[in-house]
Amino acid sequence: MNPDRTLAPAAPTTERAAHSEWTLHLVDPAPDAPVAAVRALSRGIPTRVPGSVLGTLIDAGLATDVTVNGTEEQVAWAAASTWAYRTSIPKRGDGAHVRVVFEGIDTIATVTVDGNAVLEADDMFHRWVVDLGRDDAPGAWDVEVELRPAEPVARAAEAVAPLPRADMYEIPFNQVRKMACSFGWDWGPTTMTAGLYRGVQVEREGAGRILRTLLSPTWRGGAVLGDGAVLRGSVVVEGAVDRVVVRVSAPGEEPPLLQYVASVDTASVSFELEVPGASRWDVRGRGEQPLYDVSVEAIGAHGEAIDAAARRVGFRAVALVQEPDAAGRRFEIHVNGARVWARGFNWIPADVLPERVTRERVRSLVAEAAATGATMLRVWGGGIIESDDFYDACDELGILVWQDYSFACAAYAEDEDQVARVRREVEDAVVRVGHRASLALWCGCNENLWGYEDWGWKEKLNGAGWGAHLYHDVIPGVLAALDPHRPYIPGSPFSPDPDRHPNDETQGTTHHWDTWNQLDYVHFEDKRSRFASEFGWQAPASWATLVTGIGHEPTSGADPDLQRLQKHPEGAAALDRAIADHVPHPPTDGRGWYLATQLVQARALRAAIGRFRSLHDTCSGALWWQLDDCWPAMSWSVIDAAGRRKLAWYAAAEVMAARAVITTADGDPHGLTLVNDVPEAWQVTGRLAVVDERGTILHEDRLDVTVPADGHAVVRPTVVPAGAAAIVVDAGELRAARWIVPDLALSHPEAALEIEAVEVARGRVDIAVRAESLVRDLVILAETEPGLGDACADRQLVLLLPGERATLTVRGEGVEALDPSRWACLLAAGTALRIS
């Protein structure tokens, strides 16, 4: 081994190139396949790869789009038909060994080459490789991927060995290794897509190749800056590889920070290298996010470059702390030796068609999470191991990732074939994303440990395997060999003490769904958790997205076209219950219903995240369900499928900020909590004002508090006079109010406002609002105006006391053309819910 020898990078003899030219053919149409589509597809049509059958049909005008006023029933024939992707791969006659690499096949498929079956695929989460052999003659290989319907395969397996799942899901999604939510979920449609949803590459091997590259960057010494960056890794090669060269470089800079050369004595080279001059990666708001390019080259005996691989890494230390304490057991993510209070969201697949989730769209969604103050995204187990684009965005923006493996809300088989599949899936995931700085935690499954205990599975299984072997043995066994330095938990919710319930609030992670399903969001005040990884409250998509999704403006909450977007069996009733619990005169029109549901969701988010953040020392995380949507749903998201913000996004930006005023305090009916998730102390000056519901100040205290670094402080008024309705805290530029009178007990006086457009420019209007009485949650509903669906206010949910003035800026194409007198019709204000 010679770490000092310098070798100039060169073009490798092994080539890898995307292969995207395919045609789609209908092989065996479902009985209800449209005649026009069958006719059009008889000779095949061009299709994109990465892509899907359904996406191709939509692009060709042969199927409706369920996200734009289409229905699941209209596209069900596509999922029930058999399809073929066909292509030709040209030969060069140069003697290269050629392979086709399928990064993702969805899902049940036979691959043939020149008419001969060479691969049977049955796993959406595995990377499949087809060996074409030597390129020793002119011509081409004809390659076909025949995709068969997944549902009959799942039902056949269910007939032989039934496995329970959450009761609301009729199709046995857990019997095939396919993205669970494509079978329909309580926020998404049933599409059961098929296709080549990730890229296809043609690999032409010269004298040898790199089979596998594993990198594990870390920062040795945790919080001790002096110890520095370390790159652990291994490279597996085959063929005439003489040595391996590893370089670490700052982007765009020369020379590299590190160059390391290792002789290849066996098929594998392992290393642990200190990287001089590298800086530490840290979480957003706690440090910078420097990233470095790592190149790995396989070199032949004569110095020729045979193959190469590249990764981008950041150096940090990550740990999971689960030590016992007075409240049970801690569950804390530590980065670089310091606890990170995990503020954030759950992430679901961002479209019903994976190929439509572009790099730009992913970046926008992650940036929207970051803009609220989020520090973590949990990738939920009913979807996929997320894309490289997703991890790029999280690495760059300093957002930690909790990545579930693809098991959700069901029992799963444990037979030998399943174990082999899962081992492959875990290895594929680690090889692809295991080097990522943002990836903080692997998790075995979503809610399956809980389901086994509480959902009647034990009786149905009668001793049969249900997935525990996968989560407790198989997955961590592979991770111990390939990614031993990153934390893993078997599921969420999860308790590390096997004698405790999986959803025990004193340890591990907890999910909180009784508030939404049976109770009211005010009952979040009763919750405790060491790490709350799922909880939420529904509201519809933004107005413009709803109108596009159903083809017209909703007439009311009972509009039948709206109901097809509601996938939770009790969702409509829960929305109605929430309005009845918090709105004194429930609206009957579509716009009033829309505002009511959006506002209640925003207040529920404030209450839920606020509660867990107020437990600052004993709780270490709160991840709202959910950030994004895959279609124009009634769901728990804060960003809808079109990328538009709901009112709840603005509430999240209040309560997820690194420094925030939380409108609750543990055990104190009149307390508020100042939370400081910044590693420097926070000096707070301001006031506490006790007001009645008209905004009259009944009592006032000066606020002068030092909140310690990564700490909190509780503040409360010295007096709470009779007639008090709320306690308002002003802390610098931050304001929050704790309402101490229930919504329906307020008399709801009419809000009095003065409104004017004070500045108008192209794509922008500044709206000045002066309050003559208390304004509880002032919002501007510009998006409800025709043609202004993308209008976006810089602030929402603004609290104003009598005599106070605020300016809100609305941006969007065409907003300047709106008659200023119309702004009065776009405002909702007061302690009562109304559209002014």
**pLDDT tens for each residue of 775-826:** 889 998 888 888 888 999 999 999 999 999 999 999 999 999 888 777 766 7
pLDDT tens for each residue of 164-211: 999 999 999 999 999 999 999 999 999 999 999 999 999 999 899 999
Place 4 in a pLDDT band, splitting at 50, 70 and 90. very low
pLDDT higher than 70, residue 11: no
Quick one: tokens of 194?
């098929």
| Strand segments (E) across 656-749 | 659-662, 672-676, 682-691, 697-707, 711-715, 726-731, 734-739
- The residue that leads in pLDDT, 222 or 305, is 305
Helix (H), strand (E) counts: the chain? 17, 48
Instruction: Report CA-CA distances (Å) from 701 to 456, 644, 735.
Output: 54, 39, 15
Share of the chain above pLDDT 90, in %: 88
β-bridge partners, 208 = 239
Residue 751 is predicted with a pLDDT of 77
Which DSSP category does 547 fall into?
Answer: H
CA quadruple 561, 566, 570, 573: dihedral, nearest 10:
-50
- How is 62-109 classified by DSSP, letter by letter? SS--TTTT--HHHHHHHHTSEEEEEEEEE---S--EEEEEES--BSEE
CB neighbour list of residue 359: distance below 8 Å, 6 or more residues apart: 389, 392
Instruction: Report CA-CA distances (Å) from 833 to 242, 357, 473, 779.
Output: 74, 36, 53, 11
CATH 2.60.120.260, domain 15-202, yes or no: yes
Right CATH number for 753-828 from 2.60.40, 1.10.3470, 2.30.30, 1.20.5?
2.60.40
pLDDT tens for each residue of 470-502: 999 999 999 999 999 999 999 999 999 999 999
Q: What angle do CA 663, 399, 227 make, to 5 degrees?
A: 115
Residue 49 and residue 19 in contact, taking contact as beta carbons nearer than 8 Å: yes
Instruction: Report CA-CA distances (Å) from 151 to 125, 140, 351, 383.
Output: 17, 34, 20, 17
Identity of the amino acid at 534: E
Q: Report the CATH superfamily, name and number, of domain 341-657.
A: Glycosidases (3.20.20.80)
Q: What angle do CA 365, 213, 429 make, to 5 degrees?
A: 45
Place 56 in a pLDDT band, splitting at 50, 70 and 90. very high
pTM, full prediction? 0.96
Residue 828 is predicted with a pLDDT of 67
pLDDT higher than 50, residue 3: no
Place 250 in a pLDDT band, splitting at 50, 70 and 90. very high
| Strand segments (E) across 538-664 | 539-540, 621-624, 634-635, 659-662
Residue whose C-alpha is closest to residue 557's, from 583, 539, 530? 539
Least confident window among 131-135, 268-272, 589-593: 589-593
Q: What is the mean pLDDT of the chain?
A: 94
**φ and ψ of 182, to 5 deg:** -70, -15
Q: What is the CATH number of domain 207-313?
A: 2.60.40.10
pLDDT higher than 50, residue 222: no
pLDDT tens for each residue of 148-163: 999 999 999 999 999 9
Quick one: tokens of 450?
């809980």
